[in-house]
Chains A and B, each alone.
Chain A
């Protein structure tokens, strides 16, 4: 069914409003230290825009429009709370600056990076850095973040509230740290950007109605960080990793929108320019003295796309890099990928044995890629009954209809 004019107008309004969201939250939060308050004010402004814009058209200066509404909400909120005199006069100053910014939208400075570093401050629990960035910069809700990080939505919501309270009450600053601190603070920021990117990348091609492309947003933010820190190998490594993945974005769906696994993709469909850019970033990173997780993950991608030239992925290199990565991260997701590489190098039975070693990990019980990998390897060893059960589990856990259909085809072919 083609979208109605109303839907088109609404999607256009939402796309514009979303682009401004993180920037305006950063602008307000940097001045009030009140992240939750900034989000509330913007959420109201956002909702108002979604009612007003589809009817009256998107304004010429959408950020100014949103700021003006947000400003009213903040004044109302401060009246309701009978805020102390001191806070009111501070809010007055903020409002003056807001007004000036609203008058000329071009002047709204981009302080998203400062907000990211506040969210990744060492005074906050490391586990909350990425969720905070996703929520404040990109407007994810607690349920979506919880599912990305394998945490119950209510628990995630509670942790986010607690962290925002600490930012405000403990006076965590909104600024880009000095050079020596910057590097140590970078981990949380990069992890969050990667999570955002992964969420967007797994959002299937063809779902054009999705107004936000988190993969693109993630790349944009990663470029910003890589520009700011050209000597930091992990910043370069993360951007390279994202570009390698993005280069294969189109190739992982066929003409009918069906899922195509990496080993069956046409190398000619990969975006050569993005791959070249990623390889160059990786070369730059490798000339720097240290290496880390993202640089290694990018190297895995490089070993996959070498198939463009040699006709076969460099599985020996891939297994070796995953060994190192597993040592660094201890991540069960890395262990799954390593098991797949083991199967390519030494046969399905060995790969399956590597997966069996992970079976006790409770985090994998409802993790779709684990069951899909298991099903594929069981099928190759000829254990049809066990493969069938594993495919059923993977299908039941999947959220992507195209991948679900792919798994169903594989299951039917057993």
Chain B
């Protein structure tokens, strides 16, 4: 089954310390690749770069900033393909961001 691991962290802190943290994050992604479970993933720019779009009544509204204001924001994601939820949870627990923030594990809804 495919799962997305959604990484939520203090955004300011994450962006400020990205260079320091990158090696452990890369090692984590590499471990998933070596395990043969990795589908893909990306880190995201900080929420100050986010723009939110909403269309209503035929009119497009563009707003500066993320959809929801919160201290912990989506900072990146990984998609993995593993046997079951327990395996996905075990991998989520290894994510360096899991100790700093939260990792939400969501099953991918196949088409």
A residues sitting closer than 8 Å to B (CB atoms) are 84, 121, 123, 169-173, 175, 177
A-B contact pairs, 23 of them (CB 8 A): A84-B110, A121-B85, A123-B89, A169-B107, A169-B109, A170-B85, A170-B107, A171-B1, A171-B3, A171-B83, A171-B84, A171-B85, A171-B88, A171-B107, A172-B84, A172-B85, A172-B86, A173-B84, A173-B85, A173-B86, A173-B87, A175-B86, A177-B86
Q: How far is the CA of A271 from the CA of B86 in the complex (A)?
A: 44
Please name the residue on chain A nearest to B107 by beta carbon.
A170
| Residues from chain A with Cβ under 8 Å of B110 in the complex | 84
Q: Footprint of A on B, CB under 8 Å? A: 1, 3, 83-89, 107, 109-110
B85 CB to nearest chain A CB (Å): 5
Bound CA–CA A170/B108 (angstroms)? 9
Q: How far is the CA of A121 from the CA of B85 in the complex (A)?
A: 10
Q: How far is the CA of A172 from the CA of B3 in the complex (A)?
A: 12
Give the chain B neighbours of A173 by CB distance below 8 A.
Answer: 83-87
A residues near B89, Cβ cutoff 8 Å: 123
- Cα–Cα distance between A173 and B1 once the two chains are bound (Å): 11
Distance, CA A169 to CA B85, complexed state (A): 10
Report the separation of the CA atoms of residues A123 and B84 in the bound assembly, to the nearest whole angstrom. 12
A172 and B86 CA atoms in complex are apart in Å by 7
Which B residues lie within 8 Å of A170 (CB)? 85, 107
Chain A residues with CB under 8 Å of B1's CB are 171
- Kindly list chain A residues whose C-beta atoms are within 8 Å of the C-beta of B109: 169
Instruction: Kindly state the separation between the CA atoms of A121 and B86 in the bound complex, as whole angstroms.
Output: 9
Instruction: Kindly state the separation between the CA atoms of A123 and B85 in the bound complex, as whole angstroms.
Output: 9
How far is it, in angstroms, between the C-alpha of A84 and the C-alpha of B110 when the chains are bound? 10
* Distance of A84 Cα from B109 Cα, bound (Å): 13
- Tell me how far the C-beta of B66 lies from the nearest C-beta in chain A, rounded to whole angstroms: 26
10 closest residue pairs by CB, A with B:
A173-B84, A171-B1, A171-B85, A171-B84, A172-B85, A170-B107, A173-B86, A170-B85, A169-B107, A171-B107
Q: Given the complex of chains A and B, what is the CA–CA distance between A207 and B61 in angstroms?
A: 70
Residue of B nearest to A121 (CB): B85
A170, B3: Cα distance in complex, Å: 9
Chain A residues lying within 8 Å of B3, measured Cβ to Cβ, are 171
Contacts of B86 in A (CB 8 A): 172-173, 175, 177
Residues of chain B with a CB closer than 8 A to A121's CB:
85
- Residues on the A chain within 8 Å of B88, using CB: 171
Q: Which residue in chain B gives the minimum CB-CB distance to A177?
A: B86
Closest beta carbon of chain B to A358's beta carbon, Å:
39
- Name which residue of chain A comes closest to B87, CB basis: A173
Residue of B83, B107, B109, B110 contacting most chain A CB atoms (<10 Å): B107
Cβ–Cβ < 8 Å partners of A84 in chain B? 110
Distance between Cα atoms of A304 and B43 in the complex (Å): 63
Closest to A123 in B: B85
